[in-house]
Amino acid sequence: MKLIESTLSSVSPIMKIIKDAQNYLADLGIDQWQDGYPDEAQIELDIMNKDSYLVVNESNQVMGTTVFTTKKESTYQDIEGKWMTSENAEYGVIHRLAVGDDYRKMGLAKFVFDECENRLKKMNVKSMRIDTHRDNKGMQYMLKKRGYDYCGVIILDSGDERLAFEKHIA
């Protein structure tokens, strides 16, 4: 597997994976991504900001997608709780991680986290932050297993709350 930067020609395969993820979350009874988010405009913005990535196999088939950035996350400025690092600290963020239906249970999420955490190490960035839906127990389990600590609740621009986690990157 490889993690490569998305291009505007990636929008269609990304949206297929997002649709797979929306259906998967709905099947689990999780209300995340059930309101049309993320839409094509958001994906195009992620790509233009150079924050959108694809997980591809050796045949360059798109297996998954994510956003990875070290830009400050505006919704992380206010937290009901406390981040592990200071508000001025540099940190990485993973958003919109989704796997295509045909590639579930193949370790793609672990691969994405490994890749992004390694990129932070190379950039000498000491922290990764991530948020997830309260009902997304699978993601919460993975975060705890990977050494992420629960820090509190953040409020998205939509008004929805998310559980916030952070990990020190050695």
- Upper half-sphere CA count for residue 144 (Cβ side, 13 Å): 8
Residue 18 has phi, psi (to 5 degrees) of -60, -45
Identify the residue whose tokens are 């797979």.
20
* Structural domains of the chain, count: 1
CB 54 within 8 A of CB 4: yes
Q: How far apart are CA 21 and CA 18, in angstroms?
A: 5
pLDDT for position 130: 97
Q: Which of 162, 158, 154 minimizes the C-alpha distance to 30? A: 162
* Domain encompassing residue 130: 2-168
Give the CATH number for residue 159.
3.40.630.30
Identify the residue whose tokens are 């998305």.
6
Residues forming a β-bridge with 161? 155
pLDDT for position 100: 94
Answer yes or no: is pLDDT of 51 > 90: yes
- pLDDT per residue as tens digits for the range 52-110: 999 999 999 999 999 999 999 999 999 999 999 988 899 999 999 999 999 999 999 99
